[in-house]
């Protein structure tokens, strides 16, 4: 990690700036400025605390920070997802033990569900990254990630490690360990029980056990050793609890020889909070997962099971036997008495009085040779001195974004909130021009100065660094190794300064932010982003077509600066057709948005492809879209990527025309039915009409029997006669929790937890002659290709003899399950229950899923003459 607040950085800063100047006029500008933002990243510690506006700690908090200067120990907590981490233990390590503590989440949690909005996949990962940063800002930890992608549920580490690139994940873990240098590693999960929990969980523990040794081996990931040194952590634990033993009784009886017990129930007077209260505040940051949590008070026991390394000499102290004092640093023994005297003399009413002694201690630390602890402690110490001196630095612009090549005014506020006089030297460069470069600030002085930010014309639009390149199913990809582990690349632009007080110069940098006053929220500070000159976006990610019926496709262009005339066109697959071929637009003003509608027509035969919209202005082309993710609990996020949507003509026949859809927990299946020509009427379970006879099929949304059990039970006496008289009842997956065999439709079905998580698992068509496999569309093995995330979940394991199981499938090394799709004739009608993940496959445009859907809703309708939505005869 490149820490700028250190002696190393100070010495090199001028060199670096000279380097910038010398290289600025060369062709490498573009390349260089991409890397300079990375080069001038905040050090990890500072970046994660001061991501936006500066927060001034109070006198008690500063005292606590000073206490921390005396502890030289490091802990790395390892798990797989945002929310796996034990915030109580992390908070206790950071605040009670005062250890440098970090949570390494192998993934960003993209595969989960979003309880607060529509974002999924990489956008959900962006939200969870920010939620983890907020959590760490609350509990005092730092945050790391690897390139591993949360691709969805995985039963077994074997599957996980086939989809992740195991070597790359370990390479990242080893790099993080070699940089962070933890004395202790703590796994959240048990590495010895594959199959008992999410495969990602077990994998995180298994890999952690391996990299504990690998980081110390100079033959492993040797190329890292050009910049880093090998590192051997002293010991590794598993953060166990009774839960991992099955019951409290079983845990009670278990052999605890290898367990150490810690009381994590500390109360912190300087915060006015108990450790568990902080842990709850931290956990409650996981809003997208609905993990709001209440705090508790009093004693709280945490158990750590010793796995490897040296056993603690004292079972009540996880660091025992490891030197965590200044004496671990060569020449550092003189620091501790200085610190103790500073702490003893600290005046809570006049904290600024500690500055001279701290500066003296700083001079001592600067003389030390150890680069690791010296850098860390100088960074912490400089922050404390600046806080004691009441140094407030803020740079803001009044717009959330700008385009490359723009120049805009930056307001810089410098304030002295103490009795300590200091001088601020602002360090301008080609990007940030400042007229007044040196200012003296006396007690309670505040100065506002103007600067100009000149964004280079080749500057890239802001987007998460790990999303710039296309990754694989299991891995993100990026080239810049120095970003390994980092949650985000940090602010686009920073102002650099030296603060001079009592003859010592301290380096400090602060971000240019977007500051505004919101009528409801008050002062709001958000990141400042670079946007493309024109943003071009398509309305939907997937367009599904029914027959050759054309569909309107809306394209929105937004001018992010004043633009001359240009044109808009759509790129599309060869066998498709589009009208018009392009639109011309006149001058667009900054901020102007325009919508254009193309008519897209699929070919007769089944076909799929990609469309994308392109804006041409003069010789330039633009195709980036800007996605904003705005929630109050995290900083606004921006994703910039090339626009692209899928167009799919499954080439299917659908004979069902009128469908009743009973809403469940929420899915987009009703839209999918409309896309293939069905006329859908949506109902809440409590509002389903008495007479269902006019509907060709009644489709029940996912988990409807879980979320509206009583209303669904009350529907039974309407659904039963409906089916008996020739209707089709199609039920999608429910979890087995609280559902008994007579709850689901007129015939008994017993649900299980059986699922097939491998989306490529082989599917055996058990009943190829069955109507549902042949009418109106012939289903064949290719229809199970290209599925996403999984095959299905919570499959029935027992069913009434009237049902016929249609498909067989299984995950690797497991027995075939036959409950993914079962169909029964009932009276004149049909009952279908399916745990297939149609709710995932249909929005993803999977053709085979559309054909299956069409057959399910069409099973009881029309033969041989078949009509589509427009009344055209199809056969
Ligand atoms: Zn998890």
Please give the Cα distance from 397 to 431 (Å, whole number): 14
- CA-to-CA separations, 797 to 729, 755, 817, 818, 820, in angstroms, rounded: 19, 11, 8, 8, 9
Listed residue (289, 758, 537, 273) closest to 281, CA to CA? 273
In angstroms, how far is CA 189 from the centroid of its own chain?
Answer: 20
- Kindly state the DSSP code that residue 310 receives in the 8-state scheme: P
CA distances from 454 to 363, 372, 451, 628 (A): 37, 36, 10, 24
How many CA atoms does the CB half-sphere of 394 hold within 13 Å?
23
Q: From ligand 1's centre to the CA of 111, what distance in Å?
A: 10
- Residue whose C-alpha is closest to residue 203's, from 143, 247, 246, 151: 151
Distance CA 667, CA 525 (A): 35
- CA of residue 216 to ligand 1 center, whole Å: 28
What pairs with residue 728 in β-bridges? Answer: 697, 830
- What is the largest distance, in Å, between two alpha-carbon atoms of the chain? 94
Distance 307 CA to ligand 1 centre (A): 21
User: What is the distance in A from the centroid of ligand 1 to the CA of 100?
Assistant: 23
Residue 335 CB partners (closer than 8 Å, separation 6+) = 326, 329, 361, 364, 365
What is the pTM assigned to this prediction?
Answer: 0.88
Residue 56 banded pLDDT, cuts 50, 70, 90? confident
∠ Cα 541 542 547 (to 5°): 160
At residue 21, φ and ψ (nearest 5 deg) are -60, -40
Ligand 1 center–CA 191 separation, angstroms: 14
Whether 401 and 535 have beta carbons less than 8 Å apart is answered as no
Helix ranges, 258-370 (H): 275-283, 335-344, 355-366
d(CA 822, CA 803): 6
Instruction: Check residue 21 and give its pLDDT.
Output: 34
188 CA → ligand 1 middle, Å: 10
Is there a contact between 829 and 729 (Cβ–Cβ < 8 Å)? yes
- Ranges 20-34, 188-202, 432-446: which has the least confidence: 20-34
Cα of 88 vs centre of ligand 1, distance in Å, is 16
Cα-to-centroid distance, 164 and ligand 1 (Å): 15
pLDDT for position 764: 97
Residue 121 alpha carbon to ligand 1 centre in Å: 15
CA of residue 82 to ligand 1 center, whole Å: 7
How many angstroms separate the CA atoms of 610 and 177, rounded? 42
Distance separating alpha carbons of residues 160 and 165, to the nearest angstrom: 9
Residue 750 Cα to ligand 1 midpoint, Å, equals: 28
What is the average pLDDT across 28-39? 35
Confidence of residue 546 (pLDDT cuts 50, 70, 90): confident
Average pLDDT of every residue of the chain: 91
DSSP state of 461: P
Rounded-to-integer distance, Cα 308 and Cα 310, Å: 7
Mean pLDDT throughout 90-99? Answer: 97
Residue 523 Rama label (left phi>0; alpha psi -120 to 50; beta): beta
The predicted pLDDT at position 396 comes to 97
13 pLDDT more than 60? no
Distance between CA atoms of residues 349 and 346, nearest Å: 9
Burial class (CB in 10 A: 0-12, 13-18, 19+), 298: exposed
Ligand 1 centroid–CA 231 distance in Å is 27
Are 660 and 623 contacting, i.e. CB atoms less than 8 angstroms apart?
A: no
- CA dist 802 to 434, 748, 798, 822, 856, Å? 81, 10, 11, 10, 17
Per-residue pLDDT, averaged over 771-789, amounts to 95
For the chain, how big is the Rg over CA atoms in Å?
31
Distance, CA of 621 to CA of 520 (rounded, Å)? 40
Q: Which residues, 6 or more positions from 287, have their beta carbon under 8 angstroms from its beta carbon?
A: 115, 116, 131, 631, 633
The residue among 239, 244, 255, 257 whose CA lies nearest residue 196 is 244
Asked if residue 14 has pLDDT above 80, the reply is no
Give mean pLDDT, residues 714-732: 97
Q: Are strands 542-544 and 645-649 parallel, antiparallel or unpaired?
A: parallel
Q: Which of 807, 823, 810, 705 is nearest to 754 (CA)?
A: 810
Eight-state DSSP code of residue 782:
G
pLDDT reading at 7 higher than 50: no
- What mean pLDDT do residues 631-649 have? 96
Helices within 762-871 (DSSP H only): 771-774, 838-841, 847-858
Look at residue 46 in the predicted model and tell me its pLDDT: 41
If you measure from the C-alpha of residue 149 to the centroid of ligand 1, how many angstroms do you get, rounded to a whole number?
12
- pLDDT of amino acid 273: 96
Per-residue pLDDT reduced to its tens digit, 110-163 = 988 888 888 989 999 999 999 999 999 999 999 999 999 999 889 999 999 999
What was the pLDDT predicted at 113? 81
Three-class SS of residue 184? strand
Q: Tell me the sheet residues that pair with 507.
A: 498
CA of 319 to the centre of ligand 1 (A): 27
- Reply yes or no on whether the pLDDT at 42 is more than 60: no
Rounded distance from Cα 840 to ligand 1 centre (Å): 20
Mean pLDDT of 86-100: 97
Distance 107 CA to ligand 1 centre (A): 9
Dist. CA 74 → ligand 1 center (Å)? 24
Q: Cβ distance 172 to 146 under 8 Å? A: yes
On the question of pLDDT at 205 being above 90, the answer is: yes
Q: Give the pLDDT confidence of 401-460 residue by residue, as tens digits.
A: 999 999 999 999 999 999 999 999 999 888 999 988 899 999 999 999 999 999 999 999
Measured distance CA(767)–CA(684) in Å, rounded = 34
Residues 436 and 423: beta-carbon distance below 8 Å:
no
Distance from CA of residue 705 to its chain's centroid? 30
What is the DSSP pairing of strand 566-571 with strand 607-617? Answer: antiparallel
d(CA 69, CA 339): 8
Q: How confident is the model at residue 51 (pLDDT cuts 50, 70, 90)?
A: low
């Amino acid at each position: 990690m490149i820490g700028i607040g250190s002696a190393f950085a100070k010495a090199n800063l001028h060199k670096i700036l000279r380097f910038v100047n010398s290289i600025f006029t060369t062709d490498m500008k573009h390349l260089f400025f991409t890397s300079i933002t990375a080069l001038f990243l905040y050090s990890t510690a500072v970046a994660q605390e001061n991501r936006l506006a500066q927060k001034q700690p109070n006198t008690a908090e500063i005292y606590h920070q000073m206490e921390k200067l005396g502890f030289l120990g490091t802990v790395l907590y390892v798990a797989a997802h945002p929310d796996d981490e034990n915030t109580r233990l992390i908070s206790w390590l950071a605040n009670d033990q005062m250890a440098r503590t970090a949570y390494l989440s192998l993934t960003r949690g993209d595969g989960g569900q979003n309880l607060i909005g529509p974002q999924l996949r990489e956008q959900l990962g962006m939200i969870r990254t920010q939620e983890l940063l907020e959590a760490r800002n609350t509990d005092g930890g730092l945050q790391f990630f690897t390139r591993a992608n949360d691709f969805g549920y995985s039963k077994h580490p074997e599957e996980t490690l086939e989809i992740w690139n195991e070597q790359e994940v370990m390479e990242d873990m080893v790099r993080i360990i070699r940089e962070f240098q933890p004395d202790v590693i703590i796994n959240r999960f048990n590495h010895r029980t594959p199959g008992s929990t999410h495969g990602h969980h077990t994998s995180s523990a298994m890999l952690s056990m391996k990299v504990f040794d690998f980081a110390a081996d100079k033959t492993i990931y040797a190329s890292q050793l050009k910049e880093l040194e090998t590192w051997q952590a002293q010991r590794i634990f598993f953060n166990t609890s009774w839960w991992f033993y099955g019951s409290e009784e079983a845990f009670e009886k278990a052999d605890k020889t290898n367990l150490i017990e810690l009381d994590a129930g500390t109360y912190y007077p300087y915060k006015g909070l108990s450790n568990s209260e902080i842990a709850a505040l931290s956990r409650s940051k996981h809003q997208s997962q609905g993990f709001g949590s209440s705090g508790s008070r009093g004693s709280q026991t945490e158990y750590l099971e010793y796995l490897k390394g040296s056993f603690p000499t004292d079972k009540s102290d996880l660091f025992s036997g490891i030197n965590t004092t200044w004496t671990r640093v060569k020449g550092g023994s003189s620091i501790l008495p200085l610190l103790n005297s500073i702490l003893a003399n600290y005046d809570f009413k006049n904290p600024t009085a500690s500055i001279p002694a701290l500066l003296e201690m700083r001079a001592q630390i600067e003389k030390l040779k150890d680069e690791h602890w010296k850098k860390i402690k100088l960074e912490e110490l400089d922050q404390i001195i600046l806080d004691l001196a009441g140094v407030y630095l803020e740079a803001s612009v009044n717009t959330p974004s700008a385009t490359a090549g723009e120049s805009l005014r930056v307001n810089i506020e410098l304030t002295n909130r103490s009795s300590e006089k200091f001088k601020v030297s602002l360090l301008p460069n080609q990007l940030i021009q400042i007229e007044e470069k040196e200012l003296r600030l006396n007690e309670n002085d505040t100065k506002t100065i103007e600067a100009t930010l000149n964004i280079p014309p080749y500057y890239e639009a802001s987007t998460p660094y790990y999303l710039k390149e296309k990754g694989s199913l299991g891995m993100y990809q990026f080239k810049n190794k120095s970003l390994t582990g980092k949650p985000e690349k940090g602010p686009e632009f920073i102002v650099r300064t030296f603060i001079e007080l009592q003859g010592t110069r301290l380096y400090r940098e602060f971000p240019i932010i977007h500051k505004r006053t919101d009528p409801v929220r008050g002062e709001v500070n958000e990141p400042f982003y670079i946007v493309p000159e024109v943003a071009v976006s398509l309305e939907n990610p997937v367009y599904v077509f029914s027959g050759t019926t054309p569909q309107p496709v809306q394209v929105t262009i937004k001018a992010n600066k004043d633009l001359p005339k240009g044109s808009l066109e759509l790129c599309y697959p060869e066998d498709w057709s589009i009208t018009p071929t392009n639109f011309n637009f006149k001058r667009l003003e900054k901020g102007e948005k325009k919508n254009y509608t193309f008519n897209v027509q699929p070919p007769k035969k089944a076909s799929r492809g990609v469309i994308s919209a392109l804006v041409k202005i003069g010789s330039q082309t633009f195709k980036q879209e800007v996605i904003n993710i705005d929630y109050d609990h995290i900083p606004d996020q921006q994703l910039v990527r090339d626009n692209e949507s899928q167009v799919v003509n499954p080439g299917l026949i659908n004979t069902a025309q009128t469908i009743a859809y009973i809403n469940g927990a929420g899915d987009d299946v009703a839209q999918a039915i409309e896309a293939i020509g069905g006329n859908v009427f949506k109902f809440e379970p409590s509002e389903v009409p008495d007479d269902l006879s006019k509907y060709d099929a009644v489709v029940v949304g996912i988990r409807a029997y879980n979320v509206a059990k009583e209303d669904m039970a009350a529907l039974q006496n309407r659904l039963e006669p409906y089916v008996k008289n020739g209707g089709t009842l199609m039920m999608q997956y429910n979890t087995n929790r609280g559902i008994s065999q007579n709850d689901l439709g007129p015939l008994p079905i017993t649900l299980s937890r059986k699922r097939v998580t491998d989306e490529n698992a082989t599917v055996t068509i058990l009943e190829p002659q069955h109507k549902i496999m042949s009418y109106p569309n012939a289903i064949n093995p290719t229809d199970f290709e290209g599925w996403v995330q999984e095959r299905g979940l919570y499959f029935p394991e027992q069913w009434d003899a009237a049902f016929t199981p249609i498909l067989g499938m299984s995950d690797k090394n497991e027995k075939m399950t036959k409950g993914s799709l079962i169909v029964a004739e009932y009276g004149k009608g049909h009952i279908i229950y399916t745990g297939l993940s149609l709710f995932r496959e249909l929005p993803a445009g999977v053709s085979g899923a559309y054909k299956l859907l069409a057959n399910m809703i069409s099973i009881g309708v029309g033969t041989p003459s078949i009509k589509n939505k427009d009344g055209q005869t199809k056969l």
